[in-house]
A and B are shown apart, each in its own frame.
Chain A
Amino acid sequence: MPSNQLTESGQLRHFLTIEGLKRPLLTEIMDRAEQFSGISHRQVKKVPLLRGKTIINLFFENSTRTRSTFELAAKRLSADVMNFNINTSATSKGESLLDTLHNLEAMHTDMFVVRHNQSGAAEFIAQHVAPHVSVINAGDGCHAHPTQAMLDMFTIRRHKQDFANLRVAIIGDILHSRVARSQIQALATLGVGEIRVIGPQTLLPRESQTLGVHVYHDMESGLEGVDVVITLRLQLERMQGALLPSAREYFRCYGLTEEKLKYAKPDAIVMHPGPINRGVEIASSVADGPQSVILEQVTHGIAIRMAVMSMALASQSEQAEIEE
Chain B
Amino acid sequence: MKICILNGRVIDPASQLDIDHNIYIEDGKIVAIAEDLAGFDADIEIDAYNKIVCPGLVDLSARLREPGQEHTATIESETRAAVAGGITTLAVPPDTDPVIDNPAVVELIEDRAKKAGRTMVLTVGALTQKLNGELLAEMAALKAAGCVGVSNGVTEIKNTVVWRRALEYAATLDLTVFINAADPWLQKQGCVHEGTVSARLGLSGIPESAETIAVSRDLILIEQTGVRAHFHSLSTGKAVKLIREAQDRGLPVTADVSAHHLHLCEHDLGNYDSFSHVMPPLRGVRDREQLKQGLRDGVIQAVSSHHQPLDADAKLGPFAETTPGLSALETLLPLTLKLVEDDEISLHQAIASLTCQPAAILGIDAGQLKAGASADICIIDPDVQYDCLPSAFISAGKNSPFGGWLFQHQVSHTLFQGKVVYQREPN
Contacts and interface: CB of A to CB of B under 8 A. Distances in A.
B207 interface: yes
B196 A210 contact: yes
Interface stretch (A23-31, A69-77, A140-148, A161-169): A140-148
A124 B272 contact: yes
A140 B198 CA distance: 14
A176 B190 CA distance: 13
B207 A206 contact: yes
Interface in B204-225: 204-205, 207
A208 interface: yes
A206 B209 CA distance: 13
Contacts of B200: 19, 181, 210-211
Contacts of B270: 1
Nearest to B193: A206
A123 B272 contact: yes
Contacts of B319: 118-120, 124
Contact of A120 (B189, B194, B201, B316): B201
Interface size range of chain A in the complex: 20 to 34
A3 interface: yes
A36 B196 CA distance: 38
Of B199, B200, B201, B318, which is in contact with the most chain A CB atoms at under 10 Å from its CB? B318
B35 interface: no
B193 to A, nearest CB: 10
A169 B244 CA distance: 45
B204 to A, nearest CB: 8
Contacts of B317: 96-98, 118, 124
Nearest to B198: A205
B320 A119 contact: yes
A115 interface: no
Of A120, A140, A206, which is in contact with the most chain B CB atoms at under 10 Å from its CB? A120
Interface string A199-210: 000000111101
Of B195, B203, B205, B321, which is in contact with the most chain A CB atoms at under 10 Å from its CB? B321
Contact of A2 (B194, B271, B316): B271
B316 A96 contact: yes
A141 B272 contact: no
A120 B196 contact: no
A121 interface: yes
A119 B320 CA distance: 8
Contacts of A207: 195-196, 199
Contacts of A3: 271
Contacts of A181: 200, 202
Interface string B343-364: 0000000000000000000000
Nearest to B271: A3
B313 interface: yes
A124 B202 contact: no
Contact of A211 (B194, B199, B204): B199
A119 to B, nearest CB: 4
A178 interface: yes
Nearest to B319: A120
A13 interface: no
B271 A118 contact: no
Interface string A127-154: 0000000000000111110000000000
B271 A121 contact: no
Interface string B297-325: 00000000000000001001111110000
Nearest to B194: A206
A207 B205 CA distance: 11
A94 to B, nearest CB: 12
A116 interface: yes
Of A96, A119, A121, A211, which is in contact with the most chain B CB atoms at under 10 Å from its CB? A119
Interface of B: 189, 194-196, 198-205, 207, 270-272, 313, 316-321
Given A210-B196, A210-B200, 17 more contacts: A1-B270, A2-B271, A3-B271, A98-B317, A118-B321, A119-B203, A119-B318, A119-B320, A120-B201, A124-B319, A176-B202, A205-B205, A206-B198, A207-B196, A208-B199, A211-B199, A211-B200
7 contacts: A2-B271, A96-B316, A97-B318, A119-B202, A119-B203, A119-B272, A141-B203
The 8 A-B pairs of least Cβ separation, nearest first, read A142-B202, A118-B318, A120-B272, A143-B202, A205-B199, A121-B318, A119-B202, A210-B196
